[in-house]
Structure 1
Amino acid sequence: MSALPQWSDLRVVLALSRAGTLSAAAERLGVDQTTVGRRLAALERALDGRLFLRERGALTPTALGEEAVARAEQMEAAMAALEAAASASGAAVAGRVRITAVPILVNQLIVPRLAALLSHFPGLEVDANADSRNLSLSRRETDIALRFARPESGSGLCRRIGALAFSVYAPRGTEPDGLRWVTYDDRFLHLPQARWVAANVSPDRLARLRINDAEGLVQAVRGGLGRGVLPDFMATRDPALARVSAAPVLQRDLWLLVHPDLRQLPRVGAVMDWLAGLPARLEAEAAEAPLSPGS
């Protein structure tokens, strides 16, 4: 066998397979019929075998020809993917991207870490919408959604990007065993934090306060009204709080959603990649500045 065939040679194989005749393949390739015949003959010599048989004026691939066509189609797909990647990487990440999540994720997870993303992409603008409602991707109420619960249905692309840990916290400097428990009101018993407290704490140990918002719960614990189950990504960095459980008591999965039509936009892809990296960034932050349980 001579030198291995090049992509330009395999393009001729594809054209002959799809066109069926030398003249039609030449028209597809924008060259004359003689050139196509010469390229085919050279390739058959290089491979030491026939690629096409002529039957009633049409070309039919041999077994070797079918293998060559399959390989050519694979290379064609790879080249197309490479061109698309090059185009995307060269496109400017610029324009507005709307993110929606529950308030604690927007206010305590996303916004405090957003400066690095905006600094890296000067043309990018972000709308960070703190909203407890599940805004619709299909109705284009948002571009990207970050949620604790995996949606049961919908038209968006969805993937799990990690999990966030929750532990028990109390005001720093207090004796936690003497504190009652602050938790959510009965409308929010579907939340894993509320369910954990309901399953592990006697009703007579609950504080005389009920909360309907995660950030309100944090403020209640900071204010000395009791201890509570709080997200580590927020509470471990708060000097007014101390973790009093030896380890996290629960974890909540984090799901990233986007409309399929928007995923290929460079600005949306850049924001999605950044959001997907947040759980790993939280682990790095914890390693950089570990805090001991208690005060």
Structure 2
Amino acid sequence: MQNWDGWQTLLAVARAGQLGSAAAALGIDATTAGRRIRRLEAGIGRPLLARRGGLLVPTRACLDLMPGLDAAERALRGVGEAASGVSGAAEAPGWQRIRITAVPVLCDHLLAPAVPRLVADRPRLGVDLIPEERNLSLTRREADLALRLGPLSAVPREAREIGRLAYATYAATGAEPPDVLPWACLDGALGHLPEVRATERAAGRAGPRHRAGRLESLRRLVLAGGVRGLLPRIMAEADPRLVRLEGGLTLDRPIHLLSHPEDAGVPVIRAAAAWIEATVAAAPGPVPSREE
């Protein structure tokens, strides 16, 4: 029978998709991680990981094992948390990790600056922030908690709306006159996004002068001058080089928090979810819409 180290390594590699990054997270080298995986595969007589598109992905045999491994990991996590409260209990090496995924703007400008508040009284907690445009799978345990921007095409049962991401119109400080500047917005390939549709309507027949594939690139276009853009307030409000145009175009998008229902009783996940909700609540809110 394999020990837990092997199964823990399999979980880490299946989630990370790369041997090296999974090994680093576990505090071992890639050679050791690979040896553990090969030992597991030899023990059950079937491959557990397959290489696809430069990533290691779970095989069908591995996916069949994942629910049981997830349950075992949660049980061990609960035991570890209970033991940490026992006087004189030995402290386990390494960090207790929680994985949170969100679109980059939420990771960079909302969650990352607030991490010290989450870990202030949790000296063994480590946070993995995973900025991803795609929706990482909670079922496959690629993340413990997920923040997604709406509107969602299909709202999962485990999704809760916890706030709104507010957008407003910004231009470079000193732009003259800002209210007649042409527009910049995200690339047309992202035309399904509410902020892109709203900007294209505001730009009229001429359309946006500049486009960008990422929000950070759009912010830099606006900073460079000569255009205005619709940006999240959490990204633009604190930058003195940008000025919010009073009466300009605004909108807001719902923020949904997703978690595993079976993790509702895990203290660290419950605490992280409460921290996320408080962080969202403290973010700059919607501003009055422009009066036509």
Could you say which TM-score interval applies, normalised by the shorter chain? 0.5 to 0.7
Q: 1:177 aligns with which of 176, 179, 199?
A: 179
Shift of 1:179: 2.1
- State the partner residue of 1:118: 119
Cα distance between partner residues in 2 of 1:225 and 1:90: 58
Q: Secondary structure at the match of 2:199?
A: helix
- State the partner residue of 2:252: 251
- State the partner residue of 1:102: 103
- Equivalences for residues 1-295 of structure 1 within 5 A: 95-149=96-150, 150=152, 152=154, 154=156, 157-175=158-176, 176-204=178-206, 206-207=208-209, 209-246=210-247, 249-283=250-284
Shift of 1:142: 0.8
Q: Summarize deviations over 1:151-192 as a string: whole Å, max 9, x none.
A: 6155x6211101121110000111213421101121111111
Compared CA separation, residues 187 and 216, structure 1 to 2 (3 A): same
Contact 2:179 2:245 in 1 (8 A): no
The two structures have a TM-score, normalised by structure 1, of 0.61
Cα distance between partner residues in 2 of 1:145 and 1:183: 26
| Worse overlay, 176-185 or 268-277 | 176-185
Cα distance between partner residues in 2 of 1:92 and 1:181: 55
Q: Secondary structure at the match of 2:119?
A: helix
Amino acid of the structure 2 residue aligned with 1:120: D
Cα distance between partner residues in 2 of 1:226 and 1:92: 54
Q: Summarize deviations over 1:246-278 as a string: whole Å, max 9, x none.
A: 266111111000111222211111111100112
Contact 2:175 2:226 in 1 (8 A): no
Compared CA separation, residues 92 and 270, structure 1 to 2 (3 A): farther
Cα distance between partner residues in 1 of 2:243 and 2:233: 10
Contact 1:182 1:225 in 2 (8 A): no
Amino acid of the structure 2 residue aligned with 1:161: I
**Structure with bigger gyration radius:** 1
Contact 2:149 2:255 in 1 (8 A): yes
Contact 1:95 1:267 in 2 (8 A): no
Shift of 1:132: 0.5
Compared CA separation, residues 248 and 226, structure 1 to 2 (3 A): closer
Compared CA separation, residues 112 and 225, structure 1 to 2 (3 A): farther
Compared CA separation, residues 223 and 249, structure 1 to 2 (3 A): same
Cα distance between partner residues in 2 of 1:95 and 1:177: 50
Contact 1:167 1:250 in 2 (8 A): yes
Cα distance between partner residues in 2 of 1:133 and 1:264: 27
Give the unaligned 5+ runs of structure 1.
1-86, 287-295
Amino acid of the structure 1 residue aligned with 2:237: T
Runs of 4+ residues deviating >4 angstroms: 89-94
Compared CA separation, residues 121 and 248, structure 1 to 2 (3 A): farther
Shift of 1:106: 0.5
Cα distance between partner residues in 1 of 2:273 and 2:84: 16
Identity of aligned residues (%): 36
In the alignment of these two chains, the number of paired residues is 196
The two structures have a TM-score, normalised by structure 2, of 0.62
Q: Summarize deviations over 1:52-108 as a string: whole Å, max 9, x none.
A: xxxxxxxxxxxxxxxxxxxxxxxxxxxxxxxxxxx9x97759721000011111011
CA-based RMSD of the aligned residues comes to 2.5
Contact 1:91 1:266 in 2 (8 A): no
